[in-house]
Amino acid sequence: MARPKSKIKKILFAVEIIVLLLFIGGLYVYGQLNSKLDKINQPVLDDSKIKVNQEVQDSIDSQESTLTGYTTYALFGIDHRDKNTALGGENSDTIIIASVNNDTKDVKLVSVYRDTLLNLGNDTYSKANAAYAYGEAEQAITMLNTNLDLNISEYATVNFNALTTIIDDLGGLDMDMSYAEIVHMNNYCVETSEETGKDYTPIELPDRPDDIEAVQYHYHLNGVQATSYCRIRYTASLDMGRTERQRRVIQMIVSKAKSAGLGKIFKIMDDVFPMVTTSMTKDEILQLLPTLIGYSVDDTTGFPSSFKFSNVKGSIIVPTTLESNVIELHKFLYGDETYTPSATVLANSEKILEIVGGESSLDDKQATVEENTANDTVIFEKNGSGWSDTSNNYDSDDSGSADSSDGSSGGGNTDYDPDNSGGSSSGDDGSGGDTTGGDTSGDDGSGGDTTGGDTSGGDDGSGGDTTGGDTSGGDDGSGDYVDEGSGDDGGASSEAAAEADPSAA
């Protein structure tokens, strides 16, 4: 039996109304996004200053490179208090490489440890975080491209006020923490609150457990607290633990944002976009946004995955070797099992080991140096007669912020040994074994990402090769527990830790 024409017309009319409403709604959303994107700082990136290794460029041009199936971004976190007096700019104390698979939309994150000795891309060797101070985004991207055989041309830079705001707008984050993390987070909150103008309530410390590094407490953190949690680098896992915390928080933000309503997303854009600086154009961002819902951030790790420590000029992390670490990086980011590093990477790898006196001179654990006795700016430059150590020509960049992971720089840092064990300030491990898996937090291996390879070696300091879930701290928490003093990168005074645990006084 044929359906009456009047009923068909009514159905068609209803469909047309729905389509029209969707179209109008789409235009509204597009208009809102378009206007909010105007709030982002979009300086013109000087492409002529960004270098790519010739072998990498040749393989991309010939369509033979695995990089062509991915889009890779550089994400920088700037601490406005961390002024590098040697170079005249701000250090990028957070450096994250984000690789997006163009087909599957999967995202992988790699944190570059801030104290890693690398070629800044201009034949100057220093800590990786100094590249941004040396020549802003162009220099920092060049540093990543030339040391790691990458082809990054897009970046975004934020300060930690942006992170605090995003977390507050999303209603906070539920976080599993250790006793050590609670103590340090409370200390960092003092300065984070002052810097951002946002409030927080200190977490009341639980009874002190036998293992202060064990992740066994659960709290709901606001923006100040979660940002302070991201800044901790004086637990047993050092800077490796700090970067892992940052990646964990990013994953939680992405997950929570996916379920947030459009109104909340618009509020985040209004609040945060003015704090973002990026090379991406408005059209590029608009084209990217519709697919963001399908992205998943599953795999994260740290770079270098195999490393040791040197105190050649302030405490630094040394890739062992840069060549082997770049091979592992390309395997992780791009699934390239047979990657061959470029001649530039090989040369940088050799030079790094030459600067530190060879691999045999490196330490499995991070050394403790006396306060203000070592220039924390590691600078080796190439002049007409060869390479020279020019660090004595510069002021230390650690005034007001600790640029070495042993907590020795700046004023007011105090060794805090809750267990009275007299262990080393690097905790129980710090070796930097050659790893390919198991990004975990805490000393019992609980919590944290179970993928990627962000570890600081085994718990015996041997630096052995591993392929599984190695933890990034020792398993008994007996190492020295360094409190963030007033001269480091964001803690309160050491008295705060002493109040938390009288044995620290």
Domain ranges of the chain: 48-153+279-367+377-389
| Mean pLDDT in residue range 180-203 | 94
State both tokens at 370.
């006396």
For 100-112, write each residue's pLDDT tens digit: 888 888 889 999 9
Residue 70: pLDDT band by 50, 70, 90 thresholds?
Answer: very high
Residue 213: pLDDT band by 50, 70, 90 thresholds?
Answer: very high
Higher pLDDT, 473 or 9: 9
Residue 229 near residue 200 (C-beta atoms within 8 A)? no
Q: Which of 227, 127, 123 is nearest to 175 (CA)?
A: 227
76 forms beta bridges with 95, 157
Highest-confidence range of 160-164, 296-300, 380-384, by mean pLDDT?
160-164
Residue 430 near residue 457 (C-beta atoms within 8 A)? yes
Architecture (CATH level 2) of domain 48-153+279-367+377-389: 2-Layer Sandwich (3.30)
The maximal CA–CA distance of the chain, rounded, in angstroms, is 96
Tell me the C-alpha distance between 315 and 233, whole Å.
14
Cis upstream peptide for 418 (omega within 30°): no
pLDDT at position 103, please? 86
Higher pLDDT, 346 or 273: 346
| Mean pLDDT in residue range 302-319 | 90
| Mean pLDDT in residue range 111-132 | 93
pLDDT at position 462, please? 39
Eight-class DSSP state of 451: S
| Mean pLDDT in residue range 411-432 | 36
pLDDT at position 16, please? 65
| Mean pLDDT in residue range 197-225 | 96
111 forms beta bridges with 96, 302
Q: Which of 196, 280, 207, 205 is nearest to 230 (CA)?
A: 196
For 248-265, write each residue's pLDDT tens digit: 999 899 888 888 877 888
Residue 483 near residue 490 (C-beta atoms within 8 A)? no
Higher pLDDT, 25 or 293: 293
| Mean pLDDT in residue range 474-497 | 37
Find the Cα–Cα–Cα–Cα dihedral 23, 25, 28, 32, rounded to 10°: -120
Query: Could you identify the residue written with the tokens 């976009």?
Result: 273
Eight-class DSSP state of 116: B
Distance of CA 214 to the CA centre of its chain: 22
Residue 501: pLDDT band by 50, 70, 90 thresholds?
Answer: very low
State both tokens at 346.
């090989």
Query: Distance of CA 383 to CAs 388, 390, 395, 396, 453, Å?
Result: 7, 10, 20, 21, 37
Q: Which of 115, 112, 69 is nearest to 329 (CA)?
A: 112
Mean pLDDT of the chain: 74
Inform me whether the pLDDT recorded for 93 exceeds 90. Answer: no
Residue 76: pLDDT band by 50, 70, 90 thresholds?
Answer: very high
Inform me whether the pLDDT recorded for 135 exceeds 60. Answer: yes
Query: Distance of CA 38 to CAs 27, 155, 296, 424, Å?
Result: 17, 17, 27, 50
Contacts of 3 (CB under 8 A, 6+ apart): none
Highest-confidence range of 167-171, 376-380, 486-490, by mean pLDDT?
167-171
For 32-65, write each residue's pLDDT tens digit: 566 667 777 777 788 899 999 999 999 999 988 8
Tell me the C-alpha distance between 310 and 432, whole Å.
12
Higher pLDDT, 453 or 143: 143
Query: Distance of CA 40 to CAs 77, 132, 156, 394, Å?
Result: 16, 20, 10, 34
Percentage of residues of the chain with pLDDT beyond 90: 42
Tell me the C-alpha distance between 42 and 156, whole Å.
9
Higher pLDDT, 412 or 34: 34
